[in-house]
Chain A
Amino acid sequence: MKETRILMGMPVAVEVLDANATQATLDEVYAYFEYVDATFSTYKDTSEISRINRGELTVAEASPDMQTIFALAEDTKLATDGFFEIAHDGYIDPSGVVKGWAIDQAALQLRDKGFKNFYVDAGGDIQAYGYNDQHEPWRVGIRNPFNLREIVKVLALTDCGVATSGNYVRGHHIYNPKQLNDQLTQVVSLTVIGPNIYEADRFATAAFAMGPAGISFIENLADFEGYMIEADGQATLTSGFRRYVAS
């Protein structure tokens, strides 16, 4: 069973290969993402995060998931020496941690239901379990930042998460919290493979904000591998990245 829907402003693709998967299986995944969007979208006036930003609600009064997200954001900020930050000028946008967390939660829900071979892909951030229809690890392509119809790397992944932070569309949505006027232009794409998509996504976001030093940050993290593409087309790989490369 496979489906793609536009949610949270991005394509969300879910594919479950197990024989017992039904349309209801997919519907439940999308229902979860609708809940996440309704709670955490800064573009929705009625969302819980918008109410917090308007001062109508404090974090202490907020839902367990919201409190979880704030705690995860704080933990990520500490783990990345401040390069991950959800608060800007008194306005809070937790999308950098919500996306990976939500994909991870959706995938864990499928696991809890007994499914073994599937992936959840929201806007290019992916959690993959098991194997594809060729009974091989899922083949994940890294998009060419200079030609969006091309692939520049093919990865073979199972039971892990992969996130790509990018800078190649006008309107950078990632910026360096330590240097707010810093136009991040040298690194155009940073792909991080980690034990799950929550971890991969938060570190990809923070490492991207570090500029070219971000790939060294990933190199220093046990259990994470990265692939950085710079504006001149030069790519840098962490030392263990090649074991995931199919071509």
Chain B
Amino acid sequence: MQSEPDWVIELYKIAKKLFLSTFVVVSFLVYVVHERFVELTSPTAEATQPQDTSLRQPTGPVAAVTPQPTVEIPTAPPSVFQPQPQPSPTAPAQPTAVPPTAVPTDPPIAQGQYKDGVYTGPEIDAYYGLVQVQATIQNGQIASVNFLEYPQHRRTSQEINAQAMPYLQTEAMQAQSANVNIISGATLTSEAFIMSLQSALDTAKP
């Protein structure tokens, strides 16, 4: 086979490198743009706009994006919820927008004029258990947020936690033939002693 001139080979090598580099860069750019596009069109995007997340009645200048009367629960953070008004000593309130998040890492929510009361979110499946939070509003501000449900209160999550505690084993308790030198068990006699003594002392009271 007739070989190519050297300069053609060099050109070919450079062209290949350039092509690969460009491909990588362009792929990355396409990825970034795609992710940004997805983010912009998802419901969470609205949660990052302060005007949209406050419970303030829409008065004054209208926000660039129209506030929604109800909010879709986003798929990612399980702690964002829609408040259900509970009977409270102060005026009853209507839910109008996204309530505060309970997890500090989420984007900050502007605290505007919330209606005083206690608001309970729905149970959200956090995979290892359910999460449910309750927010208390006082003087229009978030006074406290409590977890009504959290995965470690659930049996499943306890099992997960037990697995995280690496190698605990379980078994059904079983009687053994009693060929032993010594027996370890909670003291019967000391219990009986204490109970008996207590009864005696009780009768000794004036």
Contacts and interface: CB of A to CB of B under 8 A. Distances in A.
Interface of A: 6, 8-11, 13, 15, 43, 119, 121, 123-126, 128, 132, 138-145, 147-148, 150-155, 162-171, 173, 189, 191, 212, 215-216, 219-220, 229, 233-239, 241-242, 247
21 contacts: A9-B189, A10-B187, A10-B193, A123-B187, A123-B190, A124-B184, A125-B184, A138-B181, A153-B176, A154-B176, A164-B184, A164-B186, A167-B186, A170-B195, A212-B158, A216-B165, A219-B165, A233-B172, A236-B168, A239-B168, A242-B169
Interface residues of B, number: 36
A229 B166 CA distance: 19
* Interface pairs A-B: 8 shortest CB-CB: A166-B186, A143-B185, A239-B167, A9-B193, A123-B187, A141-B180, A169-B191, A151-B178
A234 B172 contact: yes
Contact of A126 (B165, B166, B184, B189): B184
Nearest to B197: A43
B91 interface: no
B184 A142 contact: yes
A42 B96 CA distance: 63
B182 A126 contact: yes
Interface core residue of A128, A144, A212 (most chain B CB under 10 Å): A144
B161 to A, nearest CB: 8
A13 B195 contact: no
Contact of A150 (B178, B186, B198): B178
A216 B162 contact: yes
A124 B198 CA distance: 22
Given A140-B182, A140-B184, A154-B180, A235 B173 contact: yes
Nearest to B191: A169
A235 B188 CA distance: 21
Given A139-B179, A189-B185, A236-B169, 9 more contacts: A9-B194, A119-B181, A124-B184, A132-B181, A151-B180, A166-B185, A168-B186, A173-B191, A216-B162
Contacts of B174: 152
A151 B169 contact: no
Given A124-B183, A139-B181, A141-B182, A10 B189 contact: yes
B194 A237 contact: no
Contacts of B170: 234-237
Given A154-B176, A216-B162, A162 B171 contact: no
Contacts of A147: 175
B85 to A, nearest CB: 33
Contacts of A128: 182
